[in-house]
Amino acid sequence: MAPVLLAPITNPASGKGSMTESLANPAPLVAIVTPVYNGAQFLEATMRSVQEQTYPNIVHVVLDNASTDATPQIVESFKNQRVPLVVARNDVLLQMDDNWNAALKLVPAEAAYFAFVCADDILMPESTERMVALAESDDEISMVTSNILRNGRFEDFRWPRDQSVFDGREAARMYLKLDSTFEGRQMLMRREAILSATPFWDETVVQASDMDVALRMLGRGKLGFVHQPLMNILDHPDNEFHRTVLPTHLHYGSWFINLKRHGPKALGAEFVEIYKRYRRSYLRRMLIWVLKDKNRAAFDCHMQLLAKVDREPTAFQFLDAIVDWALIKIKLRKNWHGAPY
């Protein structure tokens, strides 16, 4: 897998009236990274949205994960356009997180920032410009994200609207308590973040390696949040979540892993109570899957996951989770509310 630069990386002048006129000159290089596997259905629109960014200094890194559809031809059609491409193709199909880690290796050394954009998502034209402007306003910001559209509908992540920069630990606490949230597919990070862990995308988190990355970044610095929706997430039956996560409800296990991994630092003294509350809710969900939904595969999957990352649930713990539900009903305990769904 050798990267091919399809156009020189340049630093064109910003457009008249552009926000980037207020940024340092030259504008820092941003690498937008798109790993793709058989993405022909949406890839053209995604790549077009990168080409239409108002920010003046971008390179689009595209790693084709041994696609068998028209993906290579679509990528080829974007060469010699305004935003240069760095393109590579895997000889064999890699697992998703392995492919994303491989894509990171293609980020040019001179890039100051990088952001992943999935091959079925659309950036708003001013997305990179606004996110970089916020990142450049405070050297302690380790990650910038924003509200989004999901299939064209506004999704509010509930961050206080009178604030755009948040202490990292406080932001992680708000996320883990479900007070506020963010989209793991919409994150701008400084290039040095790549060194924060090896591998950067950790497959042991099962499904939410992007949330693991986000929480890791919040442990290193501040959160920058743009309240304007800057990405349109296309949620469709053929995406990874619908194909591999929903059948066995893997996102419940992923949330648990991230809570256990990042909760002690972010939540402090609150961690134990929140851990117990979520674990009991999680066990009740498992009982629903196996007894009501007749989804034995999901139940077995999560029994194995808990045995690996925490401890295998016992019959007494399942009974405790049921008793907990009764105590919640008579308002003697608080229920877990909200995500994951």
- Chain segment 12-58, per-residue pLDDT in tens: 433 333 444 444 458 999 999 999 999 999 999 999 999 999 999 99
248 exposure class (CB count in 10 Å sphere: 0-12, 13-18, 19+): buried
User: b/e string for 68-97 if b means 16 or more Cβ within 10 A?
Assistant: eebbbebbeebeeeebbbbbbbbeeebebb
Domain 4-243 CATH class label: alpha beta
For residue 43, count other CB atoms closer than 10 A to its CB.
Answer: 24
φ/ψ of residue 254, rounded to 5: -65, -45
Does position 62 have pLDDT exceeding 60, yes or no? Answer: yes
Mean residue pLDDT of the chain comes to 90
- Residue-level pLDDT at 284: 97
More confident residue, 310 or 208: 310
| Of 54, 65, 67, 63, residue with least CA distance to 19 | 54
- Residue-level pLDDT at 1: 64
Does position 258 have pLDDT exceeding 80, yes or no? Answer: yes
Does position 174 have pLDDT exceeding 90, yes or no? Answer: yes
**Residue boundaries of the structural domains of the chain:** 4-243, 249-329
**E-assigned strand segments in the chain:** 4-5, 30-36, 58-64, 85-89, 113-116, 121-123, 141-146, 148-150, 153-155, 165-166, 188-190, 222-226, 231-233
Angle between helices 296-309 and 271-287 (to 10 degrees): 150
CA distance 141 to 39: 32
| Mean pLDDT across 274-289 | 96
For residue 21, count other CB atoms closer than 10 A to its CB.
Answer: 13
| Of 106, 111, 102, 5, residue with least CA distance to 55 | 111
Per-residue pLDDT tens over the stretch 283-298:
999 999 999 999 999 9
- Residue-level pLDDT at 208: 77
More confident residue, 65 or 338: 65
Does position 10 have pLDDT exceeding 60, yes or no? Answer: no
Looking from the CA of 301 toward its CB, the CA atoms found within 13 Å total: 21
| Mean pLDDT across 272-277 | 96
Express as a percent the part of the chain with pLDDT over 90: 79
**128-132, 214-218, 244-248, 274-278: least confident range:** 244-248
| Mean pLDDT across 78-107 | 94
- Residue-level pLDDT at 198: 84
Q: Are 120 and 239 in contact (CB under 8 A)?
A: yes
Edge-first strand listing for the sheet containing 188-190:
4-5, 85-89, 58-64, 30-36, 113-116, 188-190, 141-146, 222-226, 165-166
CA distance 157 to 187: 14
Token code pair at residue 92: 């064999």
Q: Are 118 and 34 in contact (CB under 8 A)?
A: yes
| Of 22, 25, 43, residue with least CA distance to 34 | 43
**17-21, 187-191, 281-285, 310-314: least confident range:** 17-21
Q: For residue 84, what are the CA distances in angstroms to 51, 280, 300?
A: 9, 50, 47
| pLDDT bucket at 236, cuts 50 / 70 / 90 | confident
More confident residue, 97 or 324: 324
More confident residue, 11 or 62: 62
